[in-house]
Amino acid sequence: MSGPFPGIAGLDTYALEDGACRVEIIPTRGALVTRMVVDGEEVLFLDEGTVADLTKNVRGGIPVLFPIAGPLPGDTYPADRKAYTLPQHGFARRLPWTVRQAEGSLLVLGLTSSEETLRQYPWAFDAQLTFSLVGSRLTLDFDLENRDTRPLPLHLGYHPYFRVPQGHKAQARVETDATHAWDNREKKEVPFTGLDLTAQEVDMHLRDHKGPGTVLSRGPGLPPVKLSWSPEFRLLVVWTLQGKDFVCVEPWTAAAGALATGEGLLHVEPGERVSLAFDIEA
């Protein structure tokens, strides 16, 4: 790997390459993977305008959701007998990450708690995100150290936007054995009988998807994408919008609101570390 190059809107961008696969990452835009190209084919969807406009949340690539995935009720949760405010999907995707190591097909980025994060999430931490590319498999390894004196609640998710043209959605499939889900459009629990990815909007949170991974079939002429993840990821979210050429397939460690409800939250003891991996192979 050479040094960074000026990418979208001139933002410093790093490239990982192995054979016919290339991955591009913008550390200052929330450690965002913006592109994954295999044999000349774009695996990810990206709205470049949302990358260039720093006031916007990026639509596309692989946003990292930490310290929460999804929204909190009223965007607030209690801690230390106080109410704290956190926006949907947390702050990691909005903050600049620092480059700790860049070589060959490896990039290591870091995010350490600060006055800004402590106002929203009152735990001292050090987060490290390692991106590694072997062949056409990209691994995102999220490592979190609790630097606080109390157990740290962890809610982590990834929000990859996979390129699926609208005309392919009728044939696209997400492999799952789930039998019930939270329908986030209807705001209710529903029996799960399958996905119609051609609908106006699909926002299904699969409660009992059992395997530590899935396969996204993207329709004719596009290679499938194989996903695998650490067993701590217990919820699978599938989201798409009609007329938009993406399907999001998102592993989360717990359902939305976990920091407020406590349901499914992971905890990291003081001085301890936890490491969670997510693999994408096209």
Name the region of 200 (left: φ>0; alpha: ψ -120 to 50; beta: rest): alpha
**Is the predicted pLDDT of residue 2 greater than 70, yes or no?**
no
Containing H/E element for 134?
strand 125-134
Decide if 139 contacts 277 (C-beta within 8 A).
yes
- What is d(CA 137, CA 128) in angstroms, rounded to the nearest whole number? 20
What is the pTM for the complete model shown? 0.97
Q: Is the pLDDT of residue 1 over 80?
A: no
Q: What is the mean pLDDT of residues 70-82?
A: 95
Q: How confident is the model at residue 104 (pLDDT cuts 50, 70, 90)?
A: confident
pLDDT of residue 3: 79
Q: For residue 146, give Cα distances in angstroms to 66, 99, 122, 272.
A: 14, 20, 12, 6
